[in-house]
Structure 1
């Protein structure tokens, strides 16, 4: 038994180190002020003294509130109960974009076998949603992301929303554990096919009783196919699932590339919404999957509404593109235009703002922000709730006009006072993304 655990621990440590190196090497963000709250217990520890029911919260100092939330879990071949380790690197990327980030730990396979890990991530999501108001999180805009076994956890959480058998009774109950979008790196899916999909040069013996997959489900995987099927994200795929992006290197030694091929084909067959980025020459680490040397060579397969597009090099694996995908899945918008006009009289003026969704995904709920260049002061508004603090203005939809489809627009207006010059604001943002200004 000690040898079995040692084998899995070595694999898990390697996966964790590779993932951590990949994150830090792929992006060097600017410094920013962030509130960090560590070791929040989303459920009592099981067993006592373990770290599998803790999460860390990274709250941005900029951006609109309530904030969209990105949940992160670092892979370890299920051998670690500290999956929130390394979240600071993810927060460094997404906090400046206005995302709150939660690093979530779940129990290791040595502490509890499947489905405990899924019960845990769902418990963490429920806790975060139940406490959304406290941390100014948007309960309707939860995204999840992870690598390796963290990618598996991401896919399980994204695809099994509403599956009662996987909810469990850990921690907070009676709150939705659904997420609105997922992004996974090199995840295992169908454990039973992993050995057959290994590279010609070799790979792990996933059928071994000491393999990470066998230790997760508590039995040699080929002897308990029913249990393994329950741990397969493909089991839960249907046409109502949130959008999912997943990436996999074609030279992955630890988790065969074919695992993501299987998942994509299943989602396509069910008329789901998925983007699969297949990167040639990349092994099991983010630094290789996101290597700029591979840009323009990756195969991108996208399926939605029972249709499919296949292209080469159309979506480079960059943090900027990942953020755009997440924003689209959260219905925040990915690009926009603003037309601004005024009508002035003595000491006061009326303003009109038209926002157009120039992206390909709908916007559900919007906030427009800008900064006055002078001493303008809002006195009244219509078709939006407008507030002003100093020179900062925030305009939120009025409810009846919260939806903006692709290519569509919504408008609102206001009255304001001004003395001296009344210049146009230099920049408008829609849901924290900078809009192009066009003539009114």
Structure 2
């Protein structure tokens, strides 16, 4: 039985994202902030790291990240550098949050810790130029479980605790979870036909979390089930799960989705064929177009195949929408043509409610156009992909405001208009 827990710990630790990307450039890292006194003394479970971008709007939207470990580690903040490498350049602050391990404290201590960290971040938002009304939370495996608990249990007194800062809201505005456990009691029955972990073992990660063999204490297990807290008032939640998950059965996310749908909640469930319990397989481009995507909101449901590819750009769009960041823009594109070459003029208008600072506009040519120069922007091209970056003096686009730039290019044959423009990975509406 002990080997079961060791196997889970080893495999879960191997699925983290902390080595996926280098630490972000041009970002300030404030490390080892104590959001509450260490408990026990010398432990790391009440520490967080803040990765603050040097670009973007202020106050900054915040993404809270916790790396899964089958609840065996008190250093869940360690994977936040890779998340910051993705989101800092987009203007998001990232907080890597650690909570106590199951060896240091049993459930609900881990949820109490996460909520204490959220309260601390909100109480100190002005110090770090964070937007207290735009907090997102993300995590994988047991970190995904913690994401779901924090997202769905807002306002539940038993899940608040008294750790650290109190008297401040622990609410988040949107959640994004990867391959998370939910109903521990059904995990063994949902294991793959080829096998899986013995989750009913007294030495299983789930039993160690709640402090008892899970089948002997169903009431305690129910309190650790995110489904217990789902209702129509919860923030939007997206969760992704591989159908070939050996460690946490895919059926765990099926249960959660069905519960949220029954409660008329707001959820998107992305089911990925052939993916096991690891981020690279969930996001594997070879699986793009094959995912089953179930979305429920306001008691309605849509089911489709391949309409949402698990990419960081698409996750960003989801988070921005949940944070109500006004992810809206318009692009006006016009050309003046002569034989073999042309000049292009582009105007970007911010039709959202949030200012844009430091912008990048991208598009793909439909023909053989080739950029030769640009003005009021740095315009480069790789293959058919064009990237236009602000020139510094025109980096800020307030709500309702515009910035323009131009370029020269060569072309032969039909000089078609690009089908799509993206501003900081957000698709813009093209207007005449």
TM-score scaled by length of structure 1 = 0.79
> Pick from 291, 295, 309: which aligns with 2:302?
309
Q: Deviations over 1:183-230 (max 9, x none)?
A: 000000000000100001110110110000000000000111110000
- 1:232 aligned partner: 225
Contact 2:136 2:174 in 1 (8 A): yes
Shift of 1:46: 0.4
Structure 1 residue 283 and structure 2 residue 276: aligned? yes
Equivalent residues of 1:368, 1:395 under 8 A apart: yes
1:52-91 equivalence runs, <5 A: 52-91=45-84
Aligned residue pair count:
377
Of residues 176, 181, 194, the one that matches 2:187 is 194
- Cα 1:391–1:128 shift into 2, 3 Å: same
Q: Pairwise mapping of residues 28-177 of structure 1 onto structure 2 (< 5 A)?
A: 32-177=25-170
Aligned to 1:261, what secondary structure does the other structure show? helix
Deviation at 1:18, TM superposition (A): 1.8
Q: What aligned pairs does 1:362-401 form with structure 2 within 5 A after superposition?
A: 365-369=353-357, 391-392=393-394, 394=396
Matches of 2:22 and 2:100, distance apart in 1: 31
Paired residue secondary structure (1:296): coil
Give the 5 Å matches for 1:249-268.
249-268=242-261
Q: CA deviation at 1:334?
A: 3.4
Residues 1:279 and 1:130: Cα distance change in structure 2 (over 3 Å): same
Name the structure 1 match of 2:368: none
2:313 is the counterpart of 1:356? no
Indicate conservation of the 8 Å contact 2:23/2:84, yes or no: no
User: How many Å separate the matches in 1 of 2:401 and 2:55?
Assistant: 24
**Match for residue 206 of structure 2 among 207, 213, 219:** 213
Deviation string, structure 1 residues 299-353 (Cα, Å, up to 9, x no partner): 000001111110111101111111111011001133421679xxxxxxxxxxx99
Instruction: Flag the 1:78–1:369 CA change in 2: closer, same or farther, 3 A.
Output: closer
SS at match of 1:245: strand
Alpha-carbon separation, structure 1, partners of 2:350 and 2:183: 45
SS at match of 2:271: strand
Tell me, yes or no, if the aligned pair for 2:329 and 2:349 is still in contact at 8 Å: no
The one-character-per-residue Cα deviations of 1:372-407 (angstroms, maximum 9, x if unpaired) are x88xxxxxxxxxxxxxxx93575656xxxxxxxxxx
Q: Contact conserved, 2:313 with 2:425, CA < 8 A, in 1?
A: no
Q: Provide closer, same or farther for how the CA distance between residues 116 and 230 of structure 1 changes in structure 2, counting only shifts above 3 A.
A: same
Contact 1:8 1:79 (8 Å CA) reproduced: no
How many Å separate the matches in 1 of 2:406 and 2:61? 25
Q: CA 1:177–1:265 in 2, change beyond 3 Å: closer, same or farther?
A: same
The CA deviation at 1:14 is 1.9
> Structure 2 stretches of 5 or more lacking a match?
334-346, 360-374, 377-391, 408-420
Q: Structure 2 CA distance, aligned partners of 1:79 and 1:391?
A: 49
Residue 354 of structure 1 deviates from its aligned partner by 6.6
* 1:19 to 2:16 alignment: yes
Q: Could you tell me whether the CA contact under 8 Å between 2:64 and 2:95 is conserved in 1?
A: yes
Equivalent residues of 1:302, 1:308 under 8 A apart: yes
Counterpart position of 2:380? none
Q: Give the equivalent residue in structure 1 for 2:262.
A: 269
CA distance in 1, matches of 2:348, 2:281: 44
Aligned-pair distance for 1:355? Answer: 4.4
Contact 1:338 1:356 in 2 (8 A): no
| Cα distance change, pair 10–50 in 1 and its aligned pair in 2 (3 A) | farther
